[in-house]
Structure 1
């Protein structure tokens, strides 16, 4: 009977040589190829870990900066509110001062108007007195023209003076 595999010495020697050469080749390729790939992968893993650590630190710093920024914004808002409040107070004071000055000016204008009205009244009274004097003079002239004697003339003047009163001549 013939064997399925012909196991002779040559086949066994070839199998052993092939196994040894594969082991040597695996070791050599492992040293030449796998080792550099492992180093590259290790460097990459280290770089990724460093990048993650850096990102974590930067995120923490950003959080700190964000909190500082928000705090400064709150302070700026408070300052702005204080400035606006001060400006409102100054505006109210200025408004009150302007209103007071306007009231004083209005009072002065009213006083001047009252004084001018009083002067106009006095002028009107003086004009009226002057007209009365002129009318009295014309009447006296007419009476004189009618040849009234001096006694009648004096009595007419005295009578006119009494009617006008002493206050008219004194003022």
Structure 2
């Protein structure tokens, strides 16, 4: 039993010496590990804060993008409506110009037609006068020549 007590004392002394000698080394390793863990925690906390800041910035940008998109769409719709109005107004003005030009042309053609009819009447009257002057005129022949002239010109000429 004495051996057992001596062995226990030796073991106790051995543990005490090992603890004394190794405790500084273990203490340094534990301190380094604690510092490394604290640095990792700080790095993780900073990364989390940066991620939250980036998330907030992204959400803010996304909200700004939606607002800007809506503004751009509204501006585009307004410009399209203005352009449509301008195109319709230009089209109406062009149609009015075409109609006015067509009316002027119709009036010019009508005037030209009247002049042509008048000229034809003068020519027919002159031919009839020449025929009448060449022949002796009596009432019967004069009526025949007038009837011929009217038949040649047609009734529609006199109705304009």
Which of residues 120, 126, 130 is equivalent to 2:122?
126
Q: CA deviation at 1:126?
A: 1.6
Aligned with residue 59 of structure 2, among 60, 63, 71:
63
Root-mean-square deviation (Å): 2.6
Hey, what does 2:27 align to over in structure 1?
A: 31
**Distance in 2 separating the partners of 1:57 and 1:26:** 46
Equivalent position of 2:95 in the other structure: 99
Distance, in Å, in 1 between the alignment partners of 2:139 and 2:25 is 159
Partner Cα distance (1:128, 1:25) in 2: 150
* CA separation of 1:100 and 1:37: change in aligned 2, threshold 3 A: same
1:41-120 paired onto structure 2 within 5 Å = 41-120=37-116
SS in 1 for 2:4: coil
TM-score, structure 1 as length reference? 0.73
Partner of 2:4: 7
Larger Rg: 1
Unaligned runs of 5+ in 1: 141-155, 166-171
- Which aligned segments of 4 or more residues in structure 1 are displaced greater than 6 angstroms? none
Q: Distance in 2 between matches of 1:66 and 1:8?
A: 78
Q: Distance in 1 between matches of 2:24 and 2:94?
A: 101
Shift, 1:132, TM fit? 1.6
**Number of residue pairs aligned between Structure 1 and Structure 2:** 145
TM-score norm. by structure 2 comes to 0.77
CA distance in 1, matches of 2:82, 2:37: 66
Q: Comparing both chains, which one has the higher relative contact order based on Cα–Cα distances under 8 Å and sequence gaps of 6 or more?
A: 2
